[in-house]
Amino acid sequence: MLRLPSFAKINLGLEVLGVRQDGYHELRTIFQTIDLRDDILIRSGGRDLTVSCDHPAVPAGRQNLAWRAADELRRFAKRTDGVEIRITKRIPVAGGLGGGSSNAAAVLLGLDRLWRLGLGPEDLHRIARRIGADVPYFLVGGTALGLGRGDEVYPLWRQIRIHVVVADPGRALSTAAVFARLDRSLTPRENSNKIFRFISRDLEGKGTAFPILANDLEEAALEEAPDLAGQVRHIRGILVREGAVAASLSGSGSSLFGLFDDPQRARRAHAALAAEGLSAFRGRTLSLDQYRGAWRRSLGLEGRRPR
215 binds ligand C5P (CB under 6 A): no
Among 92, 96, 132, 136, interactor with ligand C5P by CB under 6 A: 132
Distance, CA of 305 to chain centre: 27
To ligand C5P, the closest distance from the beta carbon of 52 in angstroms equals 22
Of the candidate spans 32-40, 117-125, 131-139, 257-265, the one that interacts with ligand C5P by CB under 6 A turns out to be: 131-139
9 is catalytic: yes
Angle subtended at Cα 132 by Cα 126 and Cα 135, rounded to the nearest 5 degrees: 70
134 is catalytic: yes
Among 15, 72, 134, 168, interactor with ligand C5P by CB under 6 A: 134
To ligand C5P, the closest distance from the beta carbon of 21 in angstroms equals 12
150 binds ligand C5P (CB under 6 A): yes
133 binds ligand C5P (CB under 6 A): yes
Of the candidate spans 46-54, 172-180, 260-268, 272-280, the one that interacts with ligand C5P by CB under 6 A turns out to be: 172-180
User: Looking at this protein, which amino acid is placed at residue 118?
Assistant: G
Distance between CA atoms of residues 239 and 42, nearest Å: 37
> Which one-letter DSSP state was computed for residue 243?
T
Distance between CA atoms of residues 151 and 93, nearest Å: 21
User: Of 227-286, which residues contact ligand C5P (CB under 6 A)?
Assistant: none
Of the candidate spans 127-135, 155-163, 240-248, 291-299, the one that interacts with ligand C5P by CB under 6 A turns out to be: 127-135
Distance between CA atoms of residues 178 and 298, nearest Å: 35
User: Judged by CB, which is closer to ligand C5P: 27, or 280?
Assistant: 27
User: Of 21-50, which residues contact ligand C5P (CB under 6 A)?
Assistant: 24-25, 27
186 binds ligand C5P (CB under 6 A): no
User: Judged by CB, which is closer to ligand C5P: 74, or 181?
Assistant: 181
Distance between CA atoms of residues 200 and 160, nearest Å: 14
- How far, CA to CA in Å, does 222 sit from each of 18, 25, 218, 219, 227? 19, 19, 6, 5, 8
Q: How many residues bind ligand C5P (CB under 6 A)?
A: 11
Catalytic pick among 38, 112, 134, 216: 134
User: Judged by CB, which is closer to ligand C5P: 176, or 186?
Assistant: 176
DSSP output for 183-231? HH-SSPPPP--HHHHHHHTGGGGGGGGGGG--BTTHHHHHHH-GGGHHH
- How far, CA to CA in Å, does 132 sit from each of 71, 105, 136? 14, 10, 8
Cα-flanking dihedrals φ and ψ of residue 33, to 5°?
Answer: -75, 150
179 binds ligand C5P (CB under 6 A): yes
To ligand C5P, the closest distance from the beta carbon of 133 in angstroms equals 3
User: Judged by CB, which is closer to ligand C5P: 26, or 262?
Assistant: 26
To ligand C5P, the closest distance from the beta carbon of 267 in angstroms equals 33
Q: Within 13 Å of residue 149, how many CA atoms lie on the same side as its CB?
A: 17
- How far, CA to CA in Å, does 200 sit from each of 17, 54, 156, 177? 19, 43, 10, 33
Q: Which residues of the shown chain bind ligand C5P in the complex (CB under 6 A)? A: 24-25, 27, 132-134, 149-150, 175-176, 179
The set of catalytic residues is 9, 134
